[in-house]
Amino acid sequence: MNICVVGTGYVGLVTGAVFADLGNDVLCVDNDAAKVEALRAGRMPIYEPGLEEMVTRNVGDGRLAFTTDLQAAVRQSDVIFIAVGTPPKATGETDLSQVEAVAAEIGRAMDRYKVVVNKSTVPVGTGELVREVITRHQTRPVEFDVVSNPEFLREGSAIEDTLRPERIVIGAPNQQVAMTLVELYAPLERPMIITDLPSAEVIKYASNAFLACKISFINAIANVCEVAGADVGHVAKGMGLDSRIGREFLQPGLGYGGSCFPKDVDSLIHTAGRFGYDFRLLRAVVEINHERTPHVIGMARKALGGLEDRTLGVLGLAFKPNTDDMREAKSLEVIRRLHAEGARIRAYDPVAMDNARPLLPPATGFCGSAYEAAQGADALVVLTEWNEFRFLNMERIRAALRRPVIVDGRNLYEPERMRRLGFEYHSIGRKAVVPG
C-alpha cells in the first residue's frame, strides 16, 4: 500500500518506519528541510531504542523515504496519516492549527479518492473539522473519508508498542473504510476495535486520563503512608495484585509528565467543559500532580536543613527513562526551584543532557557520570528511573558525597539496604532512613 505520513516526530517517524517494515511504500513528510535532510542521512531527531536501525534498513530497501513536498506525497498515496503536533494552549484547549494546515494542503493536492487518518491526539469532533477543511480547500470535488486511528505508544518502547499494541482502535464512518485500515494492520495480528469516529477520539483521551488518575491516586496514598508510617510499596503491591486494579501505573514519585498525559488531561477537562460538564475528578488529579515537585523539594530541604549554598547531585533529566524527551519533565521544575532557593546543581542523564541544557538555568552544572554528579555534593536527588541508576556502586557513591544523603523521587532503592550502606535515605511514601 502507498502511505503518506505527515509529521516526523515520535508518532509519525515510528509509524512510518513500522509500516515500511511491514512491506508498504511510505513517504514521511515534514516542513523542516533540515530535519528531512538529517533523516535522509540516517540521523534521528529523537532517541528511541531500535528506531535508527529500522529507519536505515527500510531506507536502504527503498520502502521508506523523506520529503518536504506534501502535495506530491498526497497524490502518490492511498492512505494519508496526519501525525503532527497538537500542543496545548494556555487555557488547556488543544491547538489544532498544525492539523488544520495539513488538512488544507491535503485538500488542495487531492486528485483521487483518499483515506485520511488522524493519528495525532485530537479532541472529539476533530474528524469532522478535518473533513470540513479538506472539502473547503479542494480545487474540485473529490471523494475521501476521514478515519480516527489514535496511537498508544510509549516513548522508550515505541517500536514494541507499534508492532505489538494491546489494541488497535479504528474509528470510521462505515465498515468499508474501516477495512482499509484493518488490511493495513492485519500483519500485526493484534486485537482491533472498530467504532465510530467520535468514540475513537474519546478512547485516547479517556485512556490517558485514567492512567493519570492512577498515578495521582498512588501519590496521594503515598502522602498518607508517610504520615502513618506505612510503606507505599507494600500498599501498591497489595492493590496491584487485584486483577480489577492491576500493577501498572501504581509507582509513586514525582507524578506524570511528558508529551502526552499533562496536555491530554487538560484537553479532556477543557473539552468536557465545552460540552457543559465540569470534570472535577480530573481537576483534582492535576492538582495532586502539581504538588509533587514541592513535596520532593521539601524532603531535600528538611534533610539538609535548608538549600541555600548546598550542592546537589541530580540523577536523571528526561521525563522518563529510555528517551531524551524533556517535554514536561519534572526535572525542569525541580532544578529551577532548587536554584531559586540557592542550591548549586550538578546534573547527569544518560542521553538527555543536550536537550536539557537550553532549558535549565545557566548555572546548572552537567556531569559525565552519576559518580561525577555525586562528587562533593551534600545530597543526591534521583529524578528519573534509568536502569543505570539502579545498579550504581553505592559504596562509591557514598564515598563521593560530602554527606551520605539521598532523596529518591522514584523509589529506586530499598530502604533497608540504604540503612546497611550508611545512607540517610528519603523516598516517596516510606519512612525515612536516618542512620544512628
- Using the structure block, give the residue that is written with the C-alpha cell 473539552: 271
| pLDDT for position 76 | 96
Per-residue pLDDT, 154: 87
Q: Report how far apart the first and last C-alpha atoms of the chain are (Å, whole number).
A: 68
Provide the pLDDT for residue 47.
87
Burial class (CB in 10 A: 0-12, 13-18, 19+), 204: buried
Residue 155, pLDDT score: 84
5 grid coordinates: 505520513
pTM reported for the whole predicted model: 0.92
Residues of the chain with pLDDT under 50: none
Map residue 114 onto helix, strand or coil.
strand
Asked whether 321 and 362 are in contact (CB, 8 A), the reply is no
DSSP letter at 188 equals: G
Helix (H, G, I), strand (E, B) or coil at 398: helix
Please give the helix or strand (H or E) that residue 146 lies within, else none.
strand 144-148
CA dist 80 and 82 (Å) reads 7
Domains assigned to the chain: 2-195 (3.40.50.720), 204-290 (1.10.1040.10), 292-427 (3.40.50.720)
Q: Measured between alpha carbons, how far is 308 from 296 in angstroms, rounded to an integer?
A: 16
**Quick one: pLDDT at residue 128?**
96
Taking only the tens place, the pLDDT of each residue in 23-70 is 999 999 999 999 999 999 999 998 888 999 999 999 999 999 999 999
What pLDDT is recorded for position 165? 93
Vertex 192: Cα angle to 191 and 195 (nearest 5): 150
> CA 154, 155, 158, 162 torsion: positive or negative?
positive
Rounded to 5 degrees, φ, ψ at 25 are -95, 120
What size, in residues, is the chain?
436
Q: pLDDT at position 389, please? A: 97
The residues with which 118 forms a beta bridge, in sequence order, are 82, 148
Task: Point out which residues pair with 347 in neighbouring strands.
Answer: 314, 366
What span, in angstroms and rounded, lies between the C-alpha atoms of 204 and 202?
Answer: 6
Catalytic (active site) residue 260: yes
CB-based burial, 221-239: b 16+ in 10 Å, e otherwise: bbbebbeeebbbbebbeeb
